Amino acid sequence: MRPLVIVGDALLDRDLDGRVERLSPDAPVPVVDRPVATARPGGAGLAAALAAADGRPVTLVTALARDEAGAELHALLDAAGVKVIGLALEGATVEKVRVRTGGRPLLRIDYGGEPARIGPLPAAGAACLQDAGAVLVSDYGGGATAVPTVRAALSEIARHAPLVWDPHPRGAPPVAGARLVTPNEAEAARFCGDPSPSSGSLHALTVRAQALQRDWSAAGVSVTLGSRGALLVAGDGAPLVAPAPPAATTGPVDPCGAGDRYASWAAAALADGALLSAAVVEAVAVASSFVSAGGASAFWPQPGGARDAAGEGPRPAGAVIAQCRARGGTAVATGGCFDLLHAGHVRMLQQARRLGDCLVVCLNSDASVRRLKGPGRPVVPERDRAAVLLALGCVDAVAVFDEDTPEVILDRLRPDVWAKGGDWRDLPEAPLVASWGGQAVVLPYLAGRSTTTLIQEAIRPWRTGQRPEPSS
């Protein structure tokens, strides 16, 4: 996976979840009993944590204040595996507190957000931008994207790397040359000066997106439509509409963080070489799954247990493991190339899943497979291999890694069990897994099943001159 750099405004989100069973005697308001507090990164910080949970190297360039909330936010980002490069902030860290009951918000309290001075882009930030596979600008109106040195660096990056810009009505406009800009329906209307965002037909949405594409000199503008999916305008052709899959929920729907999930996945897909249309379609499916699973509050581990629900589309591997552990479950991981999936693979995956309560597959990237297997491999590209694995009922998530061995992704995910097929006599990852109290195990191998054998059998007729006649 190519590294992703996120530039924008990080904030601290805090949920206070309690029970409501009575009204206050001094006012007709609900009394929230024994609220449990949960803190997590918000804004650009949530986008970074989501991308890191996918197993991707992520750097966040953001303005951080030297206050208690800023220190807590930095620690949360470190725990999520996000490298942070700070812009000096003379002000207070933005903190948003939601008081909730039964997963439903009752009240929100905001701290900070006043205009503040933000320092220039440090040399480390400029260097990481130059090495990025893609850059996501996550603008929450805090001012980081308006810093002149930041904008100059983003303008330069847009010339040679995919730049995705998630805009904010109070933020700076996208720099010219962005690959994709991702306003929601209401934001698109406001950017176009339309006071009636909810009355937009597909034609009106298309006209707005085309106007914004011209104004911002962007390759594409996707207007996100919540449960209806997204509309993409790119070039002079007809717009692409990517419908959202049907939501499967078991509790209140919390859309918090859906835009961050959409933008972070689209940027990651573009970093890996996806077409703009494919990136948008994938991002819609992933964002829909994210909302179905409970949104940001379900993604971040909750005290006393996390909610989970079956959703359509892939879920981040880190979130799957965190939710499994929050329920007191055992997280299992396995790994390999899984090029031309066969019965031996399927049996091993089924056995691995029975060892615990969730199964994450650590999948070698295309570049990793080529180094291990030779220039003719893989036969099936990594996105297709991941899609086939996710279609199996025993696989809960897939995390792609670029290294020759899975140590880096294992250290990030830290499963309780690391399982491999019995053709591996020695497991070099065993000491690493043991370092956090996990266990490496070998599963029985189904003899006679091999991807290499399948490939050789497939090409044998051509080698022997017995090529089959094409069917009529």
CATH 3.40.1190.20 positions along the chain are 4-292
| Whether residue 445 has pLDDT greater than 50 | yes
Q: Are 77 and 48 a contacting pair, CB within 8 Å?
A: yes
- For the domain spanning 4-292, the CATH number is 3.40.1190.20
Domain with CATH 3.40.50.620 in the chain: 329-458
Query: Are 25 and 89 spatial neighbours (Cβ–Cβ below 8 Å)?
Result: no
Phi-psi region of 460 (alpha: psi -120 to 50; beta: other; left: phi over 0): alpha
Average pLDDT over residues 175-187: 95
Please check the confidence at residue 436 and state whether its pLDDT lies above 80: yes
Q: What is the pLDDT of residues 352-409, one digit of tens each?
A: 999 999 999 999 998 999 999 888 788 888 888 888 898 888 898 888 888 889 998 8
Per-residue model confidence as pLDDT tens digits over 57-108 = 999 999 988 888 889 999 889 888 899 998 988 888 899 998 988 778 889 9
The answer to whether residue 164 scores a pLDDT higher than 90 is yes
Average pLDDT for residues 333-339, to the nearest whole number?
91
Greater confidence (425 vs 324) lies with: 324
Asked which of 113-122, 179-188, 318-327 is least confident by mean pLDDT, the reply is 318-327
Share of the chain above pLDDT 70, in %: 86
Task: With residue 106 as reference, give the H or E element that holds it.
Answer: strand 104-111
pLDDT for residue 302:
41
Q: What is the pLDDT of residue 304?
A: 31
Of these ranges, 80-89, 441-450, 453-462, the one predicted with the greatest mean pLDDT is: 80-89
pLDDT exceeds cutoff 80 at 458: no
Q: What is the pLDDT of residue 345?
A: 87
Report long-range pairs for 107-112 (Cβ below 8 Å, ≥24 apart). Answer: 111/69, 112/11, 112/65, 112/69
Residue 58's pLDDT is 94
pLDDT at position 315 is: 61
| Residue 194 pLDDT class (50, 70, 90 cuts) | confident
Helix (H) or strand (E) holding 419: strand 417-421
User: 177 versus 28: which is more confidently predicted?
Assistant: 177
Average per-residue pLDDT for the chain: 84
CA distance 350 to 206: 46
pLDDT at residue 21, as a whole number: 86
Record the tokens describing residue 268, joined without a space.
Answer: 């990651």
DSSP element (H, E) containing 343? helix 343-353
Q: Does pLDDT of 137 surpass 90? A: yes
3-state secondary structure of 417: strand
Q: CA–CA separation, 59 vs 81, rounded Å? A: 9
Name which residue leads in pLDDT, 429 or 468: 429
198 pLDDT band, cuts 50/70/90, is low
Identify the active-site residue in 9, 13, 260, 339: 260
- The one-letter code for the residue type at 300 is W
Decide if 260 is catalytic. Answer: yes
**Region 329-458: CATH code:** 3.40.50.620
Residue 457's alpha-carbon distances to 238, 341, 454, in angstroms, are 44, 15, 5
For range 314-340, the mean pLDDT = 82
Q: What pLDDT sits at residue 250? A: 46
Q: Are 299 and 319 in contact (CB under 8 A)?
A: yes
Q: What is the per-residue pLDDT across 247-268, written as a single tens digit (0 to 9) for each?
A: 554 455 567 788 999 999 999 9
Q: What is the pLDDT of residue 453?
A: 56
**Under DSSP, is residue 441 helix (H, G, I), strand (E, B) or coil?**
strand
Query: Tokens standing for 232?
Result: 């993409």
Tell me the range of 93-107, 219-233, 286-300, 391-405 where mean pLDDT is highest: 219-233
- State what percent of residues in the chain have pLDDT above 90: 41
> Coil, helix or strand for 346?
helix
- Sequence-ordered list of residues with C-beta below 8 angstroms from that of 448, at least 6 positions apart, any chain: none
